Amino acid sequence: MTSGSTIATDQAAPGTSQGGTQAVDRAAALLTHVVEADAPVTFAELSEASGLARSTTSRLLAALERTRLLERSGTGEYVGGPLFVLYAARHDRNKQLARLALPMLEAIGESTGETVHVAVANGGRVEHIAQVDSTFLLGARDWTDIEVPAHCSALGKVLLAWDVLDRPAGRLEAPTGHSLRSRGDLDVDLAQVRNRGFAVTRDELEVGLAGVAAPVFGPVIGEELHAKTRVVAAVGVSGPTARLEDRLDQVGQLLIEQTEALSALLRHGTTTQGPERGTA
């Protein structure tokens, strides 16, 4: 929403309290308009967008300020209040994402029998935030505290392909003889990742280990408000190459189906086909 859009302030439905419910609805609409705006919003913009009398707009905004839901910048425009900042500081975004993703991870694990992970970008590296273990005796290890080169993991390739992580410069680290070694090889691989909607690794991190991963799209915040989609995480399956190599495409399609459902839950679209590189 931009500061020039119209706020929905419908009349209260029959049987509701005009003095109570309608006032709450109007205040909530003003609050939503400010919080979702790309930039601080002026009083005049709020009054015009809401269609309310200036006196009514002023009274509602004052109430929102008193309750710390809104505050005014140094130049008088309205922005989200300190309660939003306090809430964000008290809640770990990754922990909440892991909680939302857990039923999906369990469903994928039950379907594949393999180890399932969800990872995010953190400080230029791939951070595993949740894992469901393989049902096989021989399965992948616990990756939650292990740092690996992003271009050697399916999860990392997803984050690289959608520009969540910066691509490494120069010659690439090559843990095995199957690892990608040059920037050109990596660019070709990442283009394939975007085209098919999921990433694949075979023996690139460890000989005998394979992986598949797909992107999760989530809310776009900060300077990227103009973008259509933004990858916020990657969900992947890993296991012995001998057990996975004949079903990599099948697992990839399963991951796309599951990550689209999670993306929809995060209220940011339902497709793994993000915008082409360099477009909004």
Checking if the pLDDT of 279 tops 90, the result is no
Q: Among the three residues 89, 110, 144, which one is the final residue of a domain in this structure?
A: 89
Q: Give yes or no: residues 103 and 209 share one domain.
A: yes
Higher per-residue confidence, 82 vs 132: 132
Q: Give yes or no: residues 113 and 156 share one domain.
A: yes
Task: Give the pLDDT score at 82.
Answer: 75
- Asked if the structure places residue 13 within a domain, the reply is no
Q: Give yes or no: residues 85 and 217 share one domain.
A: no
Give the model confidence (pLDDT) of 254-273 as tens digits.
999 999 999 888 754 334 44
With CA atoms as reference, report the closest residue to 52 among 15, 25, 14: 25
Q: Which of 162-171, 214-223, 241-250 is predicted with the least confidence, judged by mean pLDDT?
A: 214-223
Checking if the pLDDT of 84 tops 50, the result is yes
- Asked if the structure places residue 5 within a domain, the reply is no
| Domain of residue 59, CATH code | 1.10.10.10
- Asked if the structure places residue 132 within a domain, the reply is yes
Task: Give the pLDDT score at 123.
Answer: 85
Q: Among the three residues 89, 108, 140, which one is the final residue of a domain in this structure?
A: 89
Higher per-residue confidence, 4 vs 250: 250
Task: Give the pLDDT score at 229.
Answer: 58
Task: Give the pLDDT score at 85.
Answer: 60
Q: Give yes or no: residues 95 and 141 share one domain.
A: yes
Q: Give yes or no: residues 73 and 140 share one domain.
A: no
- Asked if the structure places residue 162 within a domain, the reply is yes
Q: Could you tell me the two tokens for 80? A: 């989200």
Checking if the pLDDT of 12 tops 60, the result is no
66 burial level (CB within 10 Å; 0-12, 13-18, 19+)? exposed
- Asked if the structure places residue 2 within a domain, the reply is no
Domain that holds residue 153: 91-265
Q: 97 and 219 in contact (C-beta within 8 Å)?
A: no
Give the model confidence (pLDDT) of 51-70 as tens digits.
999 999 999 999 999 988 99
- Taking each continuous run of H as one helix and of E as one strand, the counts in the chain are 9, 7
| Domain of residue 138, CATH code | 3.30.450.40
With CA atoms as reference, report the closest residue to 136 among 255, 245, 239: 239
Residue 144: Cβ within 10 Å count: 12
Task: Give the pLDDT score at 274.
Answer: 43
Q: Total domain count for the chain? A: 2
Give the model confidence (pLDDT) of 139-152 as tens digits.
556 666 678 899 99
Q: Among the three residues 66, 89, 112, which one is the final residue of a domain in this structure?
A: 89
pLDDT-derived band at 6 (thresholds 50, 70, 90) equals low
Q: Give yes or no: residues 34 and 134 share one domain.
A: no
Q: Give yes or no: residues 105 and 215 share one domain.
A: yes
Checking if the pLDDT of 3 tops 60, the result is no
Q: Is 222 helix (H, G, I), strand (E, B) or coil?
A: helix
pLDDT-derived band at 15 (thresholds 50, 70, 90) equals very low
pLDDT-derived band at 171 (thresholds 50, 70, 90) equals confident
- Asked if the structure places residue 175 within a domain, the reply is yes
Task: Quote the percentage of the chain above a pLDDT of 90.
Answer: 56
Task: Give the pLDDT score at 267.
Answer: 57
Q: Cα–Cα distance between 4 and 37 in angstroms, integer?
A: 9
Task: Give the pLDDT score at 180.
Answer: 94
Q: Which of 33-37, 151-155, 195-199, 241-245 is predicted with the least confidence, judged by mean pLDDT?
A: 33-37
- Asked if the structure places residue 15 within a domain, the reply is no
Q: Give yes or no: residues 228 and 101 share one domain.
A: yes
Task: Give the pLDDT score at 224.
Answer: 42
Instruction: List, in order, residues 6 or more apart from 116 with CB less than 8 Å away.
Output: 105, 106, 108, 109, 131, 132, 235, 236, 237
Q: Give yes or no: residues 31 and 61 share one domain.
A: yes
Q: Give yes or no: residues 85 and 96 share one domain.
A: no
- Asked if the structure places residue 6 within a domain, the reply is no
The gap from C-alpha 54 to its chain's centroid, in whole angstroms, comes to: 38
Q: What is the mean pLDDT of the chain?
A: 83
Instruction: List, in order, residues 6 or more apart from 251 with CB less than 8 Å away.
Output: 112, 114, 212, 237, 244
Q: Cα–Cα distance between 69 and 36 in angstroms, integer?
A: 13
Q: Give yes or no: residues 122 and 241 share one domain.
A: yes
Q: Cα–Cα distance between 126 and 138 in angstroms, integer?
A: 24
Give the model confidence (pLDDT) of 85-131 as tens digits.
666 656 677 887 888 899 999 999 999 999 999 999 998 899 999 99
Q: Cα–Cα distance between 223 and 163 in angstroms, integer?
A: 15
Give the model confidence (pLDDT) of 191-236 as tens digits.
999 999 999 999 999 999 999 999 999 865 444 444 445 899 999 9
Q: Give yes or no: residues 246 and 170 share one domain.
A: yes
